[in-house]
């Protein structure tokens, strides 16, 4: 999307592992200046140092995007470091669920705060004072899930949050369409990440079985017969930031090996 010698400036939340790290690497490798965040200071420092060591223009801070003021401070820090944003990737998230009758208010609220409310808060800050769409049409990409379309057994909080992300994406895309700024959701299915390991462990505990058996059960549901990779998800995110994707907006696009059918 960058024009001439002016690089894109991207903010990626949850950028130190899994899909967020893959997105950060993919965007930065194409010349985008990427500002990332995560909740753990050591992870942010290690990720930034590693990627800078590869010649990538990356920086970041610790931030808890569940908190409105922290979200606003994160956007200000990104702009102070690299300049007005042209790309926002809302990736920060967590798993969470269980038997619905036993889900606590604390778990429900934290999953919704982490996976849905943070998307609104960071996006609001990016639009209000982050520069998205100010200099040229921007790109907002929200990492949702096929679970937000089809529902995940024993994952009611997660499914509700990701469905909310998809609805927010479509509404905001129509709001911003006249400006040329696009807003899309990328919906991974099963992706091999640290969170995927935690999910399999949780199902194994609930079903009184092994993680390997859970993995095999999940794989059999995927037409391609395998998990997607973080790099495959990052490839779609990267494409959505380019000029070739300028007419794609208000979409929820799957990266799932055929798991999702809409």
158 catalytic per annotation? yes
The number of folded domains in the chain is 2
Mode of pairing for the β-strands spanning 58-62 and 9-13: unpaired
Give yes or no: residues 155 and 114 share one domain.
yes
Tell me, yes or no, whether 18 and 102 share the same domain. Answer: yes
Task: Let me know if residue 105 belongs to a domain.
Answer: yes
140 and 206 assigned to the same domain: no
In a domain, 262, yes or no: no
218 and 203 fall within a common domain: yes
What is the pLDDT, as a whole number, of residue 4? 53
CA angle 224, 225, 226 (to 5 degrees): 95
Residues 210 and 80 in one domain: no
How confident is the model over 2-6, as a mean pLDDT?
Answer: 63
Q: Give per-residue pLDDT as tens, 115-127.
A: 999 999 999 999 9
- pLDDT in the model for residue 2: 61
Mean pLDDT of 230-248: 98
| 79 part of a folded domain | yes
Report the percent of the chain where pLDDT is more than 70: 98
Residue 136, in any domain of the structure? yes
Give me the mean pLDDT over the 149-156 stretch.
Answer: 94
| Per-residue model confidence (pLDDT) at position 168 | 99
Cα angle 188, 194, 196 (rounded to 5 degrees) comes to 50
**Residue 104: its pLDDT value, please?**
98
**What tens digit of pLDDT does each residue of 15-66 get?**
999 999 999 999 999 999 999 999 999 999 999 999 999 999 999 999 999 9
Domain identity same for 170 and 215: no
**Across 219-236, average pLDDT:** 95
**Look-up: residue for tokens 């390991």?**
197
Indicate whether 2 belongs to any domain.
no
Residue 208, domain extent: 190-227
Question: pLDDT, tens digit, for every residue of 67-115?
Answer: 999 999 999 999 999 999 999 999 999 999 999 999 999 999 999 999 9
7: helix, strand or coil: coil
Coil/strand/helix, residue 130: coil
Same domain, 73 and 106: yes
**Residue in 83, 173, 80, 159 with CA at minimum distance from that of residue 123:** 173
Q: In terms of domains, do 157 and 201 share one?
A: no
| Rounded mean pLDDT, 189-204 | 86
- 146 and 199 in a single domain? The answer is no
pLDDT-derived band at 12 (thresholds 50, 70, 90) equals very high
Is residue 98 a contact partner of residue 158, using CB atoms and an 8 Å limit? no
Q: With a cut of 90, say whether residue 177 has pLDDT above it.
A: yes
CATH number for 147: 3.40.50.720
Residue 241 CA from chain centroid, whole number: 14
Asked whether residue 50 is domain-assigned, the answer is: yes
In this structure, is residue 178 part of a structural domain? Answer: yes
The pTM of the whole model exceeds 0.85: yes
What is the Cα 145 distance to its own chain's centre?
9
Is 213 among the domain residues?
yes
Judgement on whether residues 161 and 213 belong to the same structural domain of the protein? no
Q: What is the mean pLDDT of the chain?
A: 95
- Annotated catalytic residue, options 158, 190, 203, 227: 158
pLDDT of residue 1: 67
107 and 201 share a domain?
A: no
Q: Please tell me the predicted confidence (pLDDT) of residue 218.
A: 86
Predicted confidence at residue 192, as pLDDT, reads 86
pLDDT of residue 75: 98
| 77 shares its domain with 153 | yes
């Amino acid at each position: 999307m960058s024009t001439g010698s002016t690089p894109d400036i991207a903010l990626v939340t949850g950028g130190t592992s899994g899909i967020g790290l893959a997105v950060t690497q993919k965007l930065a490798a194409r010349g985008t200046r990427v500002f990332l965040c995560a909740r753990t200071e050591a992870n942010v420092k290690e990720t930034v140092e590693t990627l800078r060591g590869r010649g990538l223009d990356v920086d970041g801070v610790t931030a808890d995007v569940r908190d409105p003021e922290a979200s606003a401070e994160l956007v200000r820090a990104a702009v102070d470091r690299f300049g007005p944003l042209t790309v926002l990737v809302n990736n920060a998230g967590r798993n969470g669920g269980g038997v619905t009758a036993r889900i606590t208010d604390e778990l429900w609220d934290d999953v919704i705060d982490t996976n849905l409310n943070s998307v609104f808060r960071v996006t609001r800050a990016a639009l209000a004072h982050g520069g998205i769409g100010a200099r040229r049409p921007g790109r907002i990409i929200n990492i949702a899930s096929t679970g937000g379309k089809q529902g995940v057994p024993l994952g009611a909080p997660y499914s509700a949050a990701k469905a909310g992300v998809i609805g927010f994406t479509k509404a905001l895309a129509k709001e911003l369409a006249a400006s040329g700024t696009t807003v899309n959701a990328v919906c991974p299915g099963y992706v091999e990440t640290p969170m995927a390991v935690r999910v399999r462990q949780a199902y194994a505990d609930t079903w009184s079985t092994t993680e390997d058996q859970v993995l095999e059960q999940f794989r059999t549901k995927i037409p391609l017969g395998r998990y997607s990779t973080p790099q495959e998800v990052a490839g779609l995110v990267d494409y959505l930031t380019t000029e070739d994707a300028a007419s794609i907006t208000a979409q929820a696009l799957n990266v799932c090996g055929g798991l999702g059918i809409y």
